[in-house]
Structure 1
Amino acid sequence: MTDYPPNKRGFLLKGAIVELKEGGLIGFTPSFHVFQYNPQVLNTTLGLSAYGDTLNARQAGARQKAEEAVYYFGGQAMAAQPDDPTLSFSLDIVIDAIDDLNESHPIGITVGIADRLAGLELLAYPNDTLVEQALSAVGDAIGDALGFRSTVDVPLQSIQLFVFGPGKVLPIRLTAMSIEEQAFHPNLLYPIRAKVSLAMQVLRPSDLRMYPETSLVRQIANGCYIFTREQKSALSTLGGAYRAVEGVIDIVGDIF
């Protein structure tokens, strides 16, 4: 399976989901789930904020300036896009053990792709595994000894980052995962090929307020969101100006 036409390959950037968990030696513990093959289709859905969203945000204290976008119609307050739109993605990724089997990789020969699927499935679980708890305890002990342990004592739900090239580095929460196992190990029946369908909701800065301001995970997630949003603004401004000038030149060329 190829991710790109063979004559255009070379350096191939892989999409991934990076999970950030509070705690550990540096204030958070990352885990990487790199796509074996990039998806061929990525569906994006935007939902515009409405008046009800403004009320909920105001009640929760998440939007201090919600009133700025409010006007009145028929004696009732209405909101004209008071917040960033909700953003969600859905995609299918394919995982197989062909390369591992051809190269006699010990893990691939033994369990096929069961280890890869287990890593993805654990993204949906709220608690750390025993191994992660042990690593986190070691990291906290070292951090205490050196005096820079994370100030967040209450366990918080991890945040995942959806990384799909430099244009999409966004904090997300998985909302659905469907796994279709398509082929199996002849003896042990571990899956050797599967299609995984993922649905994810992007976490906006207002959604990240559930984490304390001192949370390093929140700061990283918020920075990634702003980086991606401002990149859209820059691309729209620069690309729009260039294409407008190019269009004028084409028109002038046709006339003369």
Structure 2
Amino acid sequence: MSTPVSPRTLRAGLVLADPNSGSTQQVIVLQYSPESLSRSLQPQAVGAESGDRVDALRLKAPPVETYKIDAELDATDQMATAAGAPNGLLPQLAALEMLVTPSVSTLRSNQALAMAGTLEIVPVMMPLTLFVWGRNRILPVRITEYSVTEDAFDPQLNPIRARVSLSLRVLNVNDLVPGSRGSELYLAHQSQMEALARKFAYGSAADVGLTR
């Protein structure tokens, strides 16, 4: 009797894309997919602000959606290979931190502009970040919080075990340029959610004690 083959488990990650063309620049695959994630949706209602009763059921925009994940990193297995892990987990942590940090060349360029007397320096344009959690969730996001706890170290004090916490705010059509790669990905995700909702077996009024 053959042993059943377990389906390959996809890994979660973050994809960096060019904000204009949408082409993939870098992919950060999480070493272990988090065992859980939490998310929240804050409806953007009109009635609470206007006080007008006709607006009580109106929505002015998509909800503000946030994700929170905790990821485990461990360099133990890598240390046992021929290549080893001479810097521990620092490369992985640095790659994540670069998602929220402008490059040195950009900072130097802005410094030069400031020293030259430039009155208005355009904020730094970062790559479009996509949060990928399986094929049903590919979302443009902004990292709103990044924290790391380093739990163990090698003799050179490089971290070899760490826990990373990420808070991600989903960027919707109100945040992104219409027709841009990020905006289209958000709309594609919402279309997918609508299709999934149609697969749900809704009940009847009688199921909850209503007569009509």
User: Do both share a fold (TM > 0.5)?
Assistant: yes
2:9 to 12, 16, 19: 12
2:152 to 170, 175, 183: 183
Cα distance change on mapping 1:227 and 1:96 into 2, 3 Å: same
2:125 to 156, 159, 167: 156
Q: Percent identity?
A: 29
The Cα shift of 1:226 comes to 1.2
The Cα shift of 1:22 comes to 4.7
Name 2:63's counterpart in structure 1.
85
Checking the alignment, whether the CA contact within 8 Å between 1:178 and 1:196 is kept in structure 2 is yes
Q: Which structure's residues are more often strand, by fraction? A: 2
Alpha-carbon distance in structure 1 between the residues aligned to 2:24 and 2:104 = 13
Alpha-carbon distance in structure 1 between the residues aligned to 2:139 and 2:12 = 12
Query: Match for 1:90: what amino acid?
Result: K
Structure 1 runs not aligned, ≥5 long: 1-6, 55-69, 131-153, 249-256
Query: Match for 1:92: what amino acid?
Result: D
Name 1:230's counterpart in structure 2.
191
The Cα shift of 1:78 comes to 5.8
Query: Match for 1:117: what amino acid?
Result: L
Alpha-carbon distance in structure 2 between the residues aligned to 1:164 and 1:79 = 32
Cα distance change on mapping 1:222 and 1:8 into 2, 3 Å: farther
Checking the alignment, whether the CA contact within 8 Å between 1:71 and 1:79 is kept in structure 2 is no
Alpha-carbon distance in structure 2 between the residues aligned to 1:53 and 1:177 = 32
**Alignment partner of 1:173 is 2:149:** no
The Cα shift of 1:71 comes to 9.1
The Cα shift of 1:157 comes to 3.0
1:124-175 per-position Cα deviation (integer Å, ceiling 9, x unaligned): 11x2355xxxxxxxxxxxxxxxxxxxxxxx9623221000001110000000
* Aligned positions of 1:1-256 closer than 5 A: 9-22=6-19, 30-51=25-46, 72-73=52-53, 80-106=58-84, 108=85, 110-125=86-101, 127-128=102-103, 156-186=125-155, 188-209=156-177, 219-237=180-198, 239-240=199-200, 243=201
Alpha-carbon distance in structure 2 between the residues aligned to 1:164 and 1:43 = 12
Q: Which structure's residues are more often helix, by fraction? A: 1
1:204-239 per-position Cα deviation (integer Å, ceiling 9, x unaligned): 011013xxx6xxxx72211211111111110110x2
Cα distance change on mapping 1:30 and 1:102 into 2, 3 Å: same
The Cα shift of 1:105 comes to 2.5
Checking the alignment, whether the CA contact within 8 Å between 1:22 and 1:29 is kept in structure 2 is no
Name 1:148's counterpart in structure 2.
none
How high is the TM-score relative to the length of structure 1? 0.63
Cα distance change on mapping 1:120 and 1:52 into 2, 3 Å: farther
CA RMSD across the alignment:
3.0
Structure 2 runs not aligned, ≥5 long: 106-122, 205-212
Cα distance change on mapping 1:227 and 1:129 into 2, 3 Å: farther
Alpha-carbon distance in structure 2 between the residues aligned to 1:167 and 1:85 = 18
How high is the TM-score relative to the length of structure 2? 0.76
Alpha-carbon distance in structure 2 between the residues aligned to 1:96 and 1:86 = 33
